[in-house]
Structure 1
Amino acid sequence: MKDPVSDTLFLPLIEELIDLPEQGQILFLRARLSDALMDLPREKFVCDQSFKPAHDILERAGFALNDGDGETYPLTLVLPPRQREEYRALLARAVLSTQAGGIVMAAVSNNEGAKTVENDLKALAGHVSSLSKNKCRVFWARLDDRRDADLIADWSQFDAPRTIENGRFASRPGLFAWDHLDAGSKLLVDNMPTNLKGKVADLGAGFGYLCDEVLTKNPAITHVDVIEAEKRALDMARQNLAAHGDRVSFHWADATKPLPDLYDAIITNPPFHITDRSDRHDVGKAFITSAAKALNSGGQLWLVANRHLPYEETLKVAFKSVNAIAENGYFKVFRAVGPKGKTKTYAELDDQ
């Protein structure tokens, strides 16, 4: 499995600049499977990954997954995310999770700010060593009394939940549009109907903005399944949607996979970035396919996407009717009705 950043992370071990610890396990924060990891003994690793697709890949490969909290380790590996407050909090967590004399090691792509993240680890630990390969950089620090305890304490709080939109929602750094209401989602909200009913799913629900709006404006909706692959976002959605009570269920799940039920309507603002800045058209297209399979014969999909994303053809392949309901210079809102290949159920025939 090709992952240049993750493969680069293991260079100091491969080149024997750092030894695998003889005693104790290795904590791997934001772990991802890679060819280099597959070559190492699985029993040595405790992997932490809040993104469900990456979590499931590691689990299928036989790696132990838990958050590692409450323990310290002789070696901690980190694949820092892009958002600055989030990755600084993760670096601080890595330092706090590592034994005195142990090593914290991280890797970042050069075009994602590797040198900046390296300097941040140096600020925490006092010194670093580094290597470059695959247009990436791996850097590490052996922890001693040069650690900056005050800075570690400050950075540990950087990704703590906080309120946004005058207290309407709780969010945290690193989530999609974490500190504001996304303009695409707002366009979808402004153009959705108020007569949706029955059971609904929100795919890639984030911290719960779309779900809150659709439940508030559609009293005939009986239930919404909130489906979100990033557990950090799902935790915020639970908090933000608590007032809706048992009208909402929460699923830590990959929406590109089969959905948990059959629905009368589905709403979504699909992600199109995963671990870097490159467009991932395949994710949004898979959301559309999953939605079509999980809607009843007259069900409807409401989707917003950046104008440049090539979703319209996928929608037309999957649905009998597709219309662009609204658009501006940046986004399009689509309404797709009647997934192809579905026949009406007896209950739907009785409603006619």
Structure 2
Amino acid sequence: MSDRLSLALAKGAVSLPEAGRVLLLRPPATLMTEGLPLDRCVAVTGFRPDHDAFAARGVPVAEAVTGEFAAAIVFLTRARALSFDLLAQAVAALPEGAPVIVDGAKTDGVEPALKAVRAVAETGEVFAKAHGKCFAFSAPGAVPKGWAATPGAADGFVTAPGVFSADGIDPGSALLAPHLAGLSGRVCDLGAGWGYLSVMAAASPEVTEIHLVEAERAALDCARINLPDPRASFHWADATRFAGGPFDTVISNPPFHAVRKAEPEIGRGFIRAAARLLSPRGRFLLVANRHLPYEAALSEAFAETVALEDRDGYKVLQARKPRRPARSAR
């Protein structure tokens, strides 16, 4: 994360009031906090790794905006609908005239956000650095029309702005779905999103439990609606750190973007977690983009790996016999 916000504050391009609580909307875990009055800040985020990172710093963290604030800082995301909803939440939480600071990269859509803000409010200096911008505006008396998000729907399922595949079933998940027929016992869906794969897996009456593990709170809330099944349990957690099991089957369509470029290490973390969560006779069913190099990680974590399908740019892989880390001698 660049130090764009810290520099903008240090140079006076944007400023915060000397008193009152400061609302941080969707701050990333990597945020450089120089210049921020952390003793007056409240971080609001539904992304569990970011939530835990700020809690570890001693910053009060919440999943929703409550109470009164003197200023807000909005951290834009790659999802336009979510970014504008964050702007709407900031305006709704502040008295008219209070400062709203906006920080975002070009890839986060900072230019469209700046244009939209200028249509309803005056902005001060625009501070540009590291392929992004930071600027501030005074909160208008009401949330501008079109900023607040509305509930989403995709192929008959409930979704939400900013969640993965909010506009429809992901093609990779659709390719994996037929391989979930006939599952039995305890099933875990790592990175469950809004629940499509879990719904498909739960179609088997032989499934006794299905555990949905998802780091994005909004997606998990959608999953609760999409899978109203007494066998389902919902876990707001970082999949790579989730503690549970043992499971008979782990299924996953893991994310592979933390920023704009692909980061296969995220998927490798899911693979290691699956091996840890499975029973000795369990199996792991994974779908991924064809170009992602997961085979080596699968070989390290499992004794047996086979490709079940390779089509339309995606591959479905099955792994069995999870390897257990060797215990150190005492």
TM-score (norm 1): 0.87
Structure 2: give runs of 5+ residues left out of the alignment: none
> Is residue 341 of structure 1 aligned with residue 324 of structure 2?
yes
Counterpart in the other structure of 1:248: 232
> Is residue 107 of structure 1 aligned with residue 99 of structure 2?
no
Question: Deviation at 1:340?
Answer: 1.5
CA contact (8 A) 1:172 1:179 kept: no
Distance across 2 between alignment mates of 1:121 and 1:128 = 11
Counterpart in the other structure of 2:209: 223
Q: Deviations over 1:13-61 (max 9, x none)?
A: 2123444322211100001244631554421101011110111111111
Counterpart in the other structure of 2:125: 129
Q: Deviations over 1:175-200 (max 9, x none)?
A: 111111111000001233x3321111
Counterpart in the other structure of 1:271: 255
> Is residue 293 of structure 1 aligned with residue 276 of structure 2?
yes
After superposition, the Cα gap between the structure-2 partners of 1:34 and 1:334, relative to the gap in structure 1 and judged at 3 Å, is closer
Distance across 2 between alignment mates of 1:280 and 1:172 = 24
User: Which amino acid in the other structure matches residue 20 of structure 1?
Assistant: L
Q: Secondary structure at the match of 2:70?
A: strand
CA contact (8 A) 1:125 1:148 kept: no
Counterpart in the other structure of 1:155: 147
CA contact (8 A) 1:125 1:141 kept: yes
CA contact (8 A) 2:14 2:125 kept: no
Distance across 2 between alignment mates of 1:127 and 1:39 = 21
Distance across 1 between alignment mates of 2:141 and 2:71 = 19
Q: Alignment RMSD, CA only?
A: 2.0
Question: Deviation at 1:342?
Answer: 8.4
Distance across 2 between alignment mates of 1:93 and 1:116 = 18
Distance across 2 between alignment mates of 1:48 and 1:336 = 38
Distance across 2 between alignment mates of 1:261 and 1:226 = 12
Counterpart in the other structure of 2:162: 174
Counterpart in the other structure of 1:316: 299
Counterpart in the other structure of 2:73: 77
CA contact (8 A) 1:122 1:128 kept: no
CA contact (8 A) 1:126 1:148 kept: no
Counterpart in the other structure of 1:331: 314
Moved over 4 A (4+): none
Equivalenced residues, count: 326
Q: Deviations over 1:228-267 (max 9, x none)?
A: 000010000011111x2x2000000001114322111000
After superposition, the Cα gap between the structure-2 partners of 1:197 and 1:191, relative to the gap in structure 1 and judged at 3 Å, is closer
Q: Deviations over 1:69-119 (max 9, x none)?
A: 343422100111112222112112112222222111111112433222211
Q: Deviations over 1:265-316 (max 9, x none)?
A: 0000000012x22111111000000000110101000000000001011111
Q: Secondary structure at the match of 2:144?
A: helix
User: Which amino acid in the other structure matches residue 301 of structure 1?
Assistant: F
Distance across 2 between alignment mates of 1:248 and 1:89 = 30
Match of 2:61 among 62, 65, 84: 65
Distance across 2 between alignment mates of 1:55 and 1:139 = 24
TM-score (norm 2): 0.93
Question: Deviation at 1:219?
Answer: 1.2
Question: Deviation at 1:338?
Answer: 1.0
User: Which amino acid in the other structure matches residue 89 of structure 2?
Assistant: R
Question: Deviation at 1:128?
Answer: 4.4
Distance across 1 between alignment mates of 2:97 and 2:134 = 19
Distance across 2 between alignment mates of 1:112 and 1:65 = 23
